[in-house]
A and B are shown apart, each in its own frame.
Chain A
Amino acid sequence: MCLAIPGKIIEIAPDNPNSALVDVVGMRRRVDLGLLEDDKPVPGDWVLIHVGFAMSKISEVDALDQMRTLEMLGECEAAVQEVRGYGLEEIEDKAS
């Protein structure tokens, strides 16, 4: 929950400026941009994500460093699990 997970913005939903498709270690998930209202990221930008919300914009170099820190902390799997968990509908869709 306190993990900061780096992700790259792929696209912003055309019908909802607060919803972005983000690539996190190869996984694509919807992330909420509502907390970056003052400085909206655009596709190609990197962000740090907490519990499904992008919390800050960072550089690509720092994003890759952050990923490595998570890896070193042994938290990579927890991060992947967290990100995989975002977006209940998709999961429920598959289950049904």
Chain B
Amino acid sequence: MKYVDEFRDPELITRAAEEIRRLADPNRHYRLMEVCGGHTHAIYRFGLKDVLPPNIELIHGPGCPVCVLPMGRIDDALSVAADSDVIFAAFGDMMRVPGTNGSPLEHKARGMDVRIVYSPTDAIKLAKMNPQKHVMFFAIGFETTAPSTALTLQRAKAEGIHNFSIFCNHVTIIPAIRAILDSPDMRLDGFIGPGHVSTVIGCRPYEWIAKNERKPIVVCGFEPLDLLQSIVMLLTQLQKGEAKVENQYRRVVPWEGNRAALKAMAETFQLRPYFEWRGLGFISQSALRIREEYAEWDSEQRFHVPGIRVTDPKAAQCGEVLKGVLKPAQCKLFGKECTPENPVGALMVSSEGSCAAYYNYEHRKANLLTSISASA
């Protein structure tokens, strides 16, 4: 009962759930991918899967930036930070992500200067406060956080902060969706589109999914009602045989995106020819590197970066889970060797990782179902 009471309007939830049941063809199995890790988290947290009829399957997508980063990138950055003159600064989300020889936090325990920052501009402040050291900010995220890194680069250049650089791991969402659509073992009927990434890129970049791939995509908010409404919109399109881009999250996402953010990104970043993603392999033009004009603030141009490539531990099936081929609990290590307290893979670290979300909420699954049927 608890969750339903918290909802903005429990009656609307019940109605949306009924609408979904009405629209879903019982002879058909629907596979809908939620691209964004925030949605994965919300879906488990609210127990939404139990509100949906069994023939609607939600497939977790690659939209958790911590999860898709291959371990070699962490090893690379930590190898630069092994120099005692370097401070390794990153968001809290990164701290417990395992590298080959342990996470940033474990390196800190062994004496590395590792600091949590909550905003990239704070990494600049850290550099100002430690003029005798070099601060390397480990930048991570999709288009949600890339514009902040872009402005931070511009500020660092404008202010002439010379003991500061960025180890850039920013990735872009569209090529990842393309890679998933191209993979032969994946059959999808439609997409629940990322909400906050779309605040920046807008809805236009998804149009090829509708036009060329003939799949509907609905940009979606993060409340339970948002998710259910987006599923209603997807099923409506599927029922009519349509494939369009729709914006359910209009209260936040402008169709054209955020021009200032895109401009800052274009001025500071360029596309890498290719970049390795955990589980998805090398994807061309799927990540951002820092432009030549900002070379001084690019850790990769400034320091020797070994370019370490490591495969995940053999039994870990993070790649399959990231591609949506396996469910988290189907990984051999799930809940045994790999738990949120002792994560083997990054999907178990971040709250947006599907393994952590599944682990944390699995036991609450029944709640929403009981309360929905009780209130119906």
Residues of A within 8 A of B (CB): 1-4, 32, 34-38, 48, 50-53, 55-56, 58-59, 62, 65, 68-69, 71-75, 78, 81-83, 85-89, 92
Complex contact A2–B141 (CB within 8 A): yes
Complex contact B91–A1 (CB within 8 A): yes
Interface residues on B, range: 35 or more
Complex contact B223–A88 (CB within 8 A): no
Complex contact A88–B125 (CB within 8 A): yes
Beyond contacts A52-B119, A85-B119: 16 other A-B pairs, Cβ-Cβ < 8 A, are: A2-B38, A32-B119, A36-B258, A38-B259, A50-B144, A52-B148, A55-B199, A58-B252, A62-B251, A69-B223, A73-B42, A73-B222, A74-B45, A82-B92, A85-B118, A89-B125
Complex contact B264–A35 (CB within 8 A): yes
Q: Which A residue's beta carbon lies closest to that of B251?
A: A62
Residues of A with C-beta under 8 A to B200: 55
> B48 to chain A: closest CB distance in Å?
12
Complex contact B118–A52 (CB within 8 A): yes
Given A62-B251, A69-B223, A72-B3, residue A50 in contact with residue B122 (CB < 8 A): no
- Per the 8 Å Cβ criterion, residues 237-268 of B in contact with A are 251-254, 258-261, 264
> B83 to chain A: closest CB distance in Å?
22
Complex contact A86–B118 (CB within 8 A): yes
A75 and B44 CA atoms in complex are apart in Å by: 14
A68 and B264 CA atoms in complex are apart in Å by: 31
Partner of A88, one of B46, B129, B151: B129
Partner of B258, one of A2, A55, A75: A55
Question: With contacts defined as CB atoms under 8 Å apart, how many contacts are there between chain A and chain B in the complex?
Answer: 126
Residues of B with C-beta under 8 A to A65: 8, 223
Given A4-B196, A62-B251, residue A56 in contact with residue B258 (CB < 8 A): yes
B120 at the interface (CB under 8 A from A): yes
Complex contact A35–B260 (CB within 8 A): yes
A53 and B143 CA atoms in complex are apart in Å by: 13
A5 and B3 CA atoms in complex are apart in Å by: 21
Complex contact B251–A52 (CB within 8 A): no
A82 and B117 CA atoms in complex are apart in Å by: 9
> A96 to chain B: closest CB distance in Å?
10
B65 at the interface (CB under 8 A from A): yes
B80 at the interface (CB under 8 A from A): no
> B134 to chain A: closest CB distance in Å?
17
> A67 to chain B: closest CB distance in Å?
11
Given A50-B145, A56-B258, residue A87 in contact with residue B6 (CB < 8 A): no
- Per the 8 Å Cβ criterion, residues 173-203 of B in contact with A are 195-196, 199-200
Partner of B120, one of A36, A52, A72, A85: A52
Q: Which B residue's beta carbon lies closest to that of A40?
A: B260
> B221 to chain A: closest CB distance in Å?
8
Residues of A with C-beta under 8 A to B122: 52, 85-88
B116 at the interface (CB under 8 A from A): yes
A48 and B261 CA atoms in complex are apart in Å by: 14
Given A53-B119, A53-B151, A89-B125, residue A69 in contact with residue B252 (CB < 8 A): no
Partner of B199, one of A48, A74, A75, A82: A48
B73 at the interface (CB under 8 A from A): no
B126 at the interface (CB under 8 A from A): yes
